Structure 1
Amino acid sequence: MEQPEITTTEYGTMTRMIWHCDEILVGHSITRYNRLTSHKGSSETDVVRFHFGMKGNYSFSYKQLDQTYDLIGGHHNIMYSKGFDIEIWNRTLEVEVFGIQFPRELFVKFTQNANDRLKRFAEDILAEKSVMLSEHWGAIDAPIQQVLQQIIHCKYGGDLKKLFLLSKSIELLVLCAEAYNVAMEKRELFVKSKTDKEKIIAVRDLINERVADPPNLSEIARTVGLNEYKLKRGFKETFSNTVFGYLTEQRLHLAHQYLRDTSKTAAEISYELGYATPQHFNNAFKTKFGITPNSVRNNP
């Protein structure tokens, strides 16, 4: 069911984990390159592919779609072609990606009666057209990121893990489809340049690295080279949340993970994640999840 792989080539080393969930294939990989270069990939499988770029910048050309995409870490899309041929150019020395492959018939079964966008996408898939769900790649916001981390760090085994992977794969489908609908409703993009987009992604990464001791807005702005107005508005546009709201989400989901997977007390977790008091943490946790931290510990 789990298949870890380490592959070393002339351009670097890729560490990959693949999970088999009956016909669904789930994968997570980190590639550490030794130089900026390009390489090709191909497949003859007839599947629908979810692609999540979690970290790093890269471009890839997709022969079946006759398109080249220039991507910055923190993006997602869903694509279909009967087999694919791509060429990838890495723009950073580390690239982290996550992917899910749905058999064509199973994906259509899940989506043929969904919203209009997914129904049209399913119709194109049934006609075996090469197609991307959205011409605009979505941003990996907090809800999507949390599901990705839950899969990567899943502690379940056996049939329970299969159910977990299936449920989370469908959850990602729903979250991605909703993200594209929200993006289509935005009439004007505030963050237009690639440089500013990279800086907004850097803000997210900085928050993730310093959840327990987060920098204030002034420090973040100085670190990434944006003024506070552009920082706040650009972050809200990209991740559909404020900087403080995103930080709160990350803290509470991390706390939930600690309660499930470690023996740390709620008080220890609250201090580790930067809460002023355990009571403050308890109140925030109950507001978010509807239960107390101890309830998670007592009912895993």
Structure 2
Amino acid sequence: MTINISRHNLFDIFFEVEQTKQGYDPADEFDILWQYPSQFGEGYCRTIELQQGLGLLIAQHQLHEDLAIKASERGDDYLFYGCCLSGSYEGRDVHSSSNSAGGAGQYILSSGGALSSEIMVTSARQPFAIVDAWMSPERFCSFAGNASGEIPPELEHLLRQSTQQPHTRYETTSPAMLLVAQQILHCPYWGMTKRIYLESKALELLALMIAEEREAQQGKQLPSKLKLQHVDCIHHARNILLGNLDNPPSLMELARKVGLNERSLRQGFRRVFGTTAFAYLHDYRLEKARQLLSSGEMKVIEVAYSIGFVNRSYFAAAFKKKFGLSPKEYQMQQKKSG
């Protein structure tokens, strides 16, 4: 069964009922948590206004039934971007045959513009979690690096008026994007420190997406399409690897776990993520190590073991190659700057 509702009515229920609203951070009046409407599911939606023209939306919920939200209102000029961490959804344009699908392991980068008559269907099969951000065109243009605020031609499509059709692209989340999204979701700070941290992460996430967008617009070929079931298997393989950093399965074991042969997994992983499975794992381990070292709660050797490096010398060499500092030097630098 699918529950159908207009976006306007959902927002009325979600954001207008005072009982669903509560302050998330006592030291930040712009950080608000809204309980998900109980008739639709369980969870929350958290909105954080960081600066004028920049904000975050963090949502985690489990639906009772699939939820179809119809949107036909006039759009706005804001740039919208974010990562889906779990769950799946499908967009349908009611005036055409065009459909779009997204879910765990994908990011969205979308310009402002007029909202067509679209229906967004969110699946109830698994918990849904997203980390999204919005940015005004004025704030976006402030990064142009010139007095006129003119952005590079290959990014002009990201600035759309409310009378124009939006530009929307779904692509595979990179390890660096995933790490930033997780850091936003699990921000360890409060008050002013939290706001500085989250603003920096919102900008870092956009920078990573803009880098890929520029490459795509400049003619770099994106991976060719795979069968949807193979893509699901490959994302499942990625999740298994990231869930077993200290003892990952072999490629043969991984293929068996996700129902593919070894060759299909090897080739598919490279086409979806642009690298081999274990190069992806290696990069993610090092990004995770940087996060753990920044917290200062673990010794270098403990960090190495927790992410699956049994050889401390190899870990130190790999870390320095990627970040330019040894793990110890990096940790000391973070303590001084903190």
2:110 is matched with 78
**Does 1:253 find its partner at 2:283?**
no
**Does 1:11 find its partner at 2:40?**
yes
User: Which amino acid in 1 is paired with 2:212?
Assistant: A
**Does 1:30 find its partner at 2:65?**
no
1:69 is matched with 100
User: RMSD of the alignment, in Å?
Assistant: 2.9
Instruction: Write the distance in 2 (CA, Å) between the matches of 1:41 and 1:254.
Output: 38
User: Which amino acid in 1 is paired with 2:47?
Assistant: I
Instruction: Write the distance in 2 (CA, Å) between the matches of 1:183 and 1:151.
Output: 26
Say whether the 8 Å CA contact 2:112–2:158 is kept in structure 1: no
What's the CA shift for 1:264?
Answer: 1.4
**Does 1:116 find its partner at 2:116?**
no
Kindly provide the CA deviation profile for residues 233-258 of structure 1, in whole angstroms up to 9, marking residues without a partner as x.
Answer: 22122222221111111111111111
Kindly provide the CA deviation profile for residues 207-235 of structure 1, in whole angstroms up to 9, marking residues without a partner as x.
Answer: 12111211111111111111222212221
- Range 279-288 or range 111-120, more displaced: 111-120
Match of 1:54 among 85, 100, 125: 85
Aligned length: 296
Instruction: Write the distance in 1 (CA, Å) between the matches of 2:188 and 2:72.
Output: 32
Q: How does 1:166-177 map to 2 (within 5 A)?
A: 166-177=199-210
What's the CA shift for 1:66?
Answer: 8.7
What's the CA shift for 1:201?
Answer: 1.3
Instruction: Write the distance in 2 (CA, Å) between the matches of 1:272 and 1:151.
Output: 21
TM-score (norm 1): 0.85
1:147 is matched with 180
User: Which amino acid in 2 is paired with 1:104?
Assistant: P
User: Which amino acid in 1 is paired with 2:62?
Assistant: R
2:311 is matched with 277
Say whether the 8 Å CA contact 1:3–1:18 is kept in structure 2: yes
Say whether the 8 Å CA contact 1:42–1:85 is kept in structure 2: yes
Mark the CA change 1:187 to 1:290 in structure 2 (over 3 Å): closer, same or farther: closer
**Does 1:294 find its partner at 2:328?**
yes
Instruction: Write the distance in 2 (CA, Å) between the matches of 1:188 and 1:175.
Output: 16
**Does 1:228 find its partner at 2:262?**
yes
What's the CA shift for 1:288?
Answer: 1.4
What's the CA shift for 1:31?
Answer: 1.7
What's the CA shift for 1:265?
Answer: 0.8
Match of 1:88 among 120, 142, 147: 120
**Does 1:206 find its partner at 2:237?**
no
Say whether the 8 Å CA contact 1:138–1:180 is kept in structure 2: no
TM-score (norm 2): 0.76
Mark the CA change 1:120 to 1:48 in structure 2 (over 3 Å): closer, same or farther: closer
User: Which amino acid in 2 is paired with 1:240?
Assistant: G
User: Which amino acid in 2 is paired with 1:22?
Assistant: Q
Secondary structure of residue in 1 paired with 2:113: strand
Say whether the 8 Å CA contact 2:45–2:59 is kept in structure 1: yes
Kindly provide the CA deviation profile for residues 160-188 of structure 1, in whole angstroms up to 9, marking residues without a partner as x.
Answer: 54444344333333322332344564658
**Does 1:165 find its partner at 2:198?**
yes
Say whether the 8 Å CA contact 2:113–2:162 is kept in structure 1: no
User: Which amino acid in 1 is paired with 2:171?
Assistant: G
1:132 is matched with 167
Instruction: Write the distance in 1 (CA, Å) between the matches of 2:31 and 2:72.
Output: 22
Say whether the 8 Å CA contact 1:35–1:93 is kept in structure 2: no
Secondary structure of residue in 2 paired with 1:131: coil
What's the CA shift for 1:19?
Answer: 2.1
1:103 is matched with 136
Instruction: Write the distance in 1 (CA, Å) between the matches of 2:333 and 2:73.
Output: 44
- Range 258-267 or range 155-164, more displaced: 155-164
Kindly provide the CA deviation profile for residues 251-270 of structure 1, in whole angstroms up to 9, marking residues without a partner as x.
Answer: 11111111222421111111
